[in-house]
Amino acid sequence: MMVLGIDTSGYANAVGLVDDEKVLADSTYAAKTDSLEQIVANIDSTLKSAGLALKDVGGIGVGLGPGSWTGIRVGVTVGKILAFSTGKPVAGVPTLQALAYGARHESSLICAVISVGTGDAVYAALYRPENNAVRRIGEYYVGDVKGLTALLTGPAVLVGNGSQAYTRIVKQESGMNIKAVEATPGGAAVACLAEQRLELGEKDDVLSLTPLYLKESTAKAFVNKYKSSHT
């Protein structure tokens, strides 16, 4: 199945195309604004680069976050509009899972990390590689980087934007063997994971699909704490 994947949870718009997990396109565009028009233009550009049109796509994958609250809302809205207007099935994909999927060939446990956006607060989750996929272990985490040491009990790969800095902190706190993989969520990773869901018949309802906000009150508390400490 040919699937279009989009993720706008960070400081870039990621758009990818896959067909039977073969990557046809994987583009990243600077997110100058969180406008619907910009994201749609980026999707159109990616489709054209692959010599394809939206009518050729069999399904839509959309990154659900966590990340930029505004960016996620706009990206999910675009995915829902595309699915509704074309009648194509849509599947939501947690952005942390998309990050972990990009490191699925690593032999160690994978810890996907996304910055809350201020201070040292992060969103995180642990994943184990399984059969060209990744399976989440335990609950999502929202807290400071040092708190990741409680999640990691052995060798692991820390993947995400800023992972090198996070890895240094975790190593200082725990002394564990942690490898850093700098990465941002990819549109092709979202598309592959969405394709896996859609082929199992796990499509989402277009109207009820919503972003993944992890303990939003907790994240906002971190934001407010760091704002107040710098005023």
Please write the tens of the pLDDT for every residue from 74-85: 999 999 999 999
In a domain, 224, yes or no: no
68 and 15 both lie in a single domain: yes
The CB-based long-range contact list for 162-168 (8 Å cut-off, 24+ gap) reads 162/113, 162/115, 163/113, 166/113, 166/122
In a domain, 155, yes or no: yes
- Whether the per-residue pLDDT at 222 is higher than 80: the answer is no
176 and 65 both lie in a single domain: no
C-alpha R_g of the chain: 17
In a domain, 226, yes or no: no
- Whether the per-residue pLDDT at 90 is higher than 50: the answer is yes
pLDDT at site 33: 61
Domain enclosing residue 136, as ranges: 104-182
149 and 191 both lie in a single domain: no
In a domain, 22, yes or no: yes
144 and 162 both lie in a single domain: yes
Residue with tokens 């869901």, as numbered in its chain:
197
125 and 190 both lie in a single domain: no
Residue finishing a domain among 138, 166, 182: 182
In a domain, 231, yes or no: no
What average pLDDT does this structure show over 6-14?
90
Angle at 222 between CA 216 and CA 228, to 5 degrees: 130
161 and 194 both lie in a single domain: no
Could you tell me if 78 and 15 are in contact, meaning their C-beta atoms sit under 8 angstroms apart? no
In a domain, 131, yes or no: yes
Strand partners, 159: 112, 181
pLDDT in tens, 105-161: 987 899 999 998 777 889 999 999 988 889 999 999 999 998 898 888 888 999 999
137 and 173 both lie in a single domain: yes
90 and 7 both lie in a single domain: yes
In a domain, 223, yes or no: no
pLDDT in tens, 15-24: 999 999 899 9
133: which 2 tokens? 């996929």
What average pLDDT does this structure show over 206-213?
91
pLDDT at site 108: 80
Residue with tokens 């976050």, as numbered in its chain:
65
Query: Backbone phi, then psi, for 211, in 5-degree steps?
Result: -65, 160
| Mean pLDDT lowest among 17-26, 31-40, 144-153, 190-199 | 31-40
44 and 75 both lie in a single domain: yes
Could you tell me if 22 and 32 are in contact, meaning their C-beta atoms sit under 8 angstroms apart? no
16 and 121 both lie in a single domain: no
CATH number at residue 25: 3.30.420.40
135 and 89 both lie in a single domain: no
189 and 178 both lie in a single domain: no
Tell me the pLDDT of the chain averaged across its residues: 88
Residues 6+ away with beta carbon under 8 Å from 83: 60, 89, 90, 206
Domain count of the chain? 2
